[in-house]
Amino acid sequence: MSAGRPTRPRSNPWLRPVGLVLRLIVLGVGLGVIVGTALKLMAPRLVQGALGTPAPAAPVSPVATKPGSGPMALGRFEPRQELVGLSQQWARLAAAQKGLTASGFLLVLDDGRYAELQPDLPLSAASSIKVPILLAGLEDLDRGKVRWNEPMPLTKEVVGGGAGWMASKPLGTRFPFFEAATEMIRVSDNTATNLLIRRLGGKTELNGRFRSLGLTATVVNNWLPDLDGTNTTSSRDLARSIALVDTGDKLTPRARDLFREIMGTSRTNTLIPLGLLMGLGKDSSDPDSELLPEGITVYNKTGDIGIAYSDTALIQLPNGQRAVLAVMVKGPFNDPRSAELIRSMAGAVTKTLVKR
């Protein structure tokens, strides 16, 4: 008997059409995904081509938008364009007051506009020298050379007369660094200032620090109150002292905040702040409060030993810019024209920088 060929099983006639349909479905889904993805990627360019609009600009680099750049940048202590009219007005105001010697310096940190009147003339610093002393103290705090709450003992050597209350405390009383730094500005405490001078290394060491900061006219020769006016500075030095802080050149952000907070405690606002307000055509016994609605904030420190008056300030302007201003006047003892000249020069600043 011969062997026969094996019989092939009969296939189901419905399987072939079903398989074909499944393949078509899978193929259709795959093509749909591919076409959909392509259209999604090409749609913006197709729309731009149809409308004739340019492609969107590339995203701005993070470097260009980092803090401290753009319109709210910190600025620099870099005079660029003189406000000639203001400088000339200052000169006329000073020339009209016979027997007074005046010095002034203004710089808008944001754009470099400036005005000046004998800005490098060394004059008696009085209590305005406390601003560069505060800068040096906070610089040492940044470097870890002093502690914020470090106690400093009161000794006979540093007791100073005049403004302040620390001199009335018993010898041996220990004041923390932050209290002395604050009272030096808040009530212009002379004993607090002497405590800091001693803690920062003494007069010679501190004068070297001032030179390293570019404060060439700033010199401490005697303990405060220095009624003879032997301690000197200049209007440019005073303005630079504040600018070095506010532009971030010398202090960390935390120490810069401390500087501004301490400067904000100063009680005397009868020179630059009142002058700025008078430049707006107003007068008040509380000029700081009246300036705030105008968009102006002033952080200032005055000096007054009768024969010398001074004031230096950081000014926040209504347009968001910041300016540093320092004015110094030397004249006869307790001559009221000295304070009035400072106010007049500050008023001229308002008329120049504040557009109403």
Tell me the pLDDT tens digit for each residue of 240-293: 999 999 999 999 999 999 999 999 999 999 999 999 999 999 999 999 999 999
Contact 325, 315 (CB under 8 A): yes
Tell me the pLDDT tens digit for each residue of 44-75: 454 444 434 444 444 444 444 444 555 556 67
Least confident of 22-36, 246-260, 296-310: 22-36
The span from the CA of 22 to the CA of 2, in Å, is: 44
Helix (H, G, I), strand (E, B) or coil at 213: coil
The token pair at 69 is: 């750049």
Model pTM above 0.85: no
Contact 115, 90 (CB under 8 A): yes
- Who wins on pLDDT, 38 or 335? 335
Least confident of 62-66, 88-92, 150-154: 62-66
Contact 178, 185 (CB under 8 A): no
Alpha helices in 144-201 (DSSP H): 177-186, 190-199
Residue at 198: amino acid letter: R
The token pair at 192 is: 């607090």
Contact 301, 135 (CB under 8 A): no
A 10 A CB-CB count for 318 gives 14
Q: How high is the mean pLDDT of the chain?
A: 87
